[in-house]
Structures are given as structure tokens and as C-alpha cells.
Amino acid sequence: MEQDTIRSVTVKPPSFMSILTGEWTELAESDRLGKCRSVTEFEKLNRVGEGTYGIVCKARNTENNKIVALKKMRLDTQKDGIHITGLREINILLNIRHQNIVQMSEVVVGKSLESIFLVMEYCEQDLASLLDNMAAPFSEPQVKCIMLQLFAGLQYLHENFIIHRDLKVSNLLMTDKGCVKIADFGLARKYELPLRPMTPTVVTLWYRAPELLLGSKTHTTGIDMWSSGCIMGELLAHRPLLPGRSELHQLDLILDMLGTPNDTIWPEFSKLPALENFSLKKQPYNNLRHTFPWLSDAGIKLLNIMFMYDPDKRASAEDCIQSSYFKEQPRPCDPEFMPSFPQHRLKRKQSKAEGKKSKEKRKSLDDSFKSFGDSTTNAPLVKKSRRDIS
């Protein structure tokens, strides 16, 4: 009688991509969590916002009682893993340290490897929420204080060959001591020379540079500086400076404010891809002075050099820090004298309709953070305060 033969089969452990190197590696079952702590060591408090590629929740580290922000990374459902932009964000945040950039302390995991959380320092408010809730605009000394801190953070990023690519008021956080921090690096990229093509569909519309609107795939630090000009204008005016409803409308608003560019002031202008399909309206005047009639000449000059059409001629963060605008009266205030509204979210009056929706939102929040465990499912939900623009 012929005996059945049994062949031994070697089962290889699954492969995982390293967050630090981007290389695939095989890990044994006992090593798959590596040195990452479990998210169950954090007590969820409430949801505070939503970044480009993840939901952000306020939490308490039970090890030391420190309040932190936990960002749950969104998964790429088509590739069964963290979206590549999430990996870029982790890689960038692990390698930068600056007082004006939000700090990531560690990566923690949920009950499964599909649940990845970034542990970030917690900041009490973002500038979008403050602008929405302040009875009076920021004073000019306060605007100068904010912008100097933004430029300091940008100078550090650009010197380390990092472009943020999504600067806006809701991505600028502020601590209770008035320290401004650049946040949400979901679209950030490291760049190298010569510059490689990148997708032009980055940066929230209201803060998007004209070269991106016209289809340029070459990204320079100039796109961050354009966004910074939009932020400064918004802080000074207490309203969005260029609130376009579409890309074409956004271009119209830019032309109305700055005039129509040409090859003389922007040598690569006529070669931009979008101009093959349409031409821009003719508007010969720069109207920044009419937009800000009370602003000093130094302030107008600072805005103008951030709003140069040619990205190669646009001011750098270091140029802006050296602007005479920050040396004239009124001088920038000290960060500790910045307004602080730690309770501004709680003071919002919710309608009955919002009250009915809160239970549904709380359930959705608990589902999205279900890996925290049952002990945290009753945490209160705070109404999302960041502007919903794209």
C-alpha cells in the first residue's frame, strides 16, 4: 500500500514597509509592534479636528498624565496600509525639531497593525478657530508676532529642504503661551535639486500660488511664501483675503488684487500648461494699497514680495524676517501677550439640530477610535472648529 507523502512547507512571516527607510522587511509575530507602545496607554478625551490624512483627538498619556494630541492615520484602502503621504508625514516629523513646528514624540499602535497613531504635542487653539470667535481682529503687534513665528518655522523647514504645501490659518496652532506652531504635514515633501515634477493639486484653494493654479508641476519654497502672504492678509483684514469658489475664480481674485502677469515680470509665464486652454483677463493695476489703505509702506512692500508672480523672485522666509515692517512702530508684541481663549470651543452655542447630531458624531468618533478600548467610549465630543475648505 502506497503511503501518502507529507511535504513540509516553510511559511514566511509577512513583510512590512519600514516607516523610517521605506524598505520592505520580514518580521516575526513577536516583533511586529517593535518598540511602539499601545494606544490603550492613552485616555481619549475629545476630538479636536481633522488633518489632511487623519483624525485628531485630545488624549491623556496615562504614564505621565501629560495632555497630547493623537492623530489616527487614515489607511489606503486600495493598498491595505498607511497612505504614502502618511508615511512621508511620519518620516518628516521624526527628523525635525523647532519651537515653531508641532512636535511628534512617538508612534503608537492600536489592537491591530492597521491602527497607527501619531502622538503630538497638544496646542490649545488654531488660528482659524480664533479668527472665527474673536470679537475684534488681531492687533497689528499681534499679527507681527504671529508672522515672525511663522517665518521662523518656515525658514527652518526650507533650510532642511522641506516644503509644507498646505499652509493656512487652520494649520497654524497656538499654545496658551502664545507660541505659534506649524502643523499638519500630510502634504509636506522633501525636495532636491534639480527639482522633480510634482502634482499641482496641493495647497488649499484660498492659499494656492498662481503657478499651481496654472498647472506648474515644479514646486519650490515659493508656494509656502505665497500662502504666508495670504495668511498675513487674512490676519490683518480679519477675513480670508482670496476666498475663491473655484480655480478660475481664484485666479480672477488674484488678478483683481495684483494685476495680470506677463513674460516680463514672470519669464516662464506663457509656458504654463493651463494657458494652452484659456487666456487671462487684462487688469494692469496692483491694488494691494487699496486693499490695505491703512497699512504702512513697509507692510505693503512685505506683502508685495510674498506675492511676486515669479516664484524664483518671491521673498524667502529669511527675507521676510529681515523686513523693516517688523522694526517699525508698532513693534511685534511678546508671544506671552497674545490672546488666549482656551474655552472658546465650549462657549459656542449649539442649536437643537446640532444637539441631535452630536450623538451620531460621538458614535462615529468612537468607531474611528474603537481601538482605544471600551473604557473611553463615553468621552465628550467637541464641535469641529476648523474651516472646511479645500
Maximum distance among all Cα pairs of the chain, rounded to whole angstroms: 102
Centre a 10 Å sphere on the Cβ of residue 38 and count the other Cβ atoms it contains. 16
DSSP letter assigned to residue 372: G
Contacts (Cβ under 8 Å, ≥6 apart) of 20: 91, 94
Helix 222-237 vs helix 297-306: angle between axes, to the nearest 10 degrees? 140
CA distances from 301 to 24, 262, 315 (A): 50, 20, 11
Q: Are 108 and 41 in contact (CB under 8 A)?
A: yes
Burial class (CB within 10 angstroms; exposed 0-12, middle 13-18, buried 19+) of 81: middle
Residue 242: helix, strand or coil by DSSP? coil
* Residues 129 and 187 sit within 8 Å (Cβ to Cβ): no
- Is 367 an annotated catalytic residue? no
- The backbone region for 197, taken as left when phi is positive above 0, alpha when psi lies in -120 to 50, beta otherwise, is beta
What are the respective helix, strand and coil percentages of the chain, to the nearest 5? Answer: 35, 15, 50
One-letter amino acid for residue 141 of the chain: P
Residue 313 annotated as part of some ligand binding site: no
Is the four-CA dihedral 229, 230, 232, 236 of positive or negative sign? positive
Helix, strand or coil for residue 229? helix
Active-site pick, 4, 80, 132, 166 = 166
What the block records as the C-alpha cell of 105 is 514624540
Q: What is the CA radius of gyration of the chain?
A: 24
Task: Write out the binding residues for ATP.
Answer: 71
Task: Write out the binding residues.
Answer: 71
Active-site residue list: 166
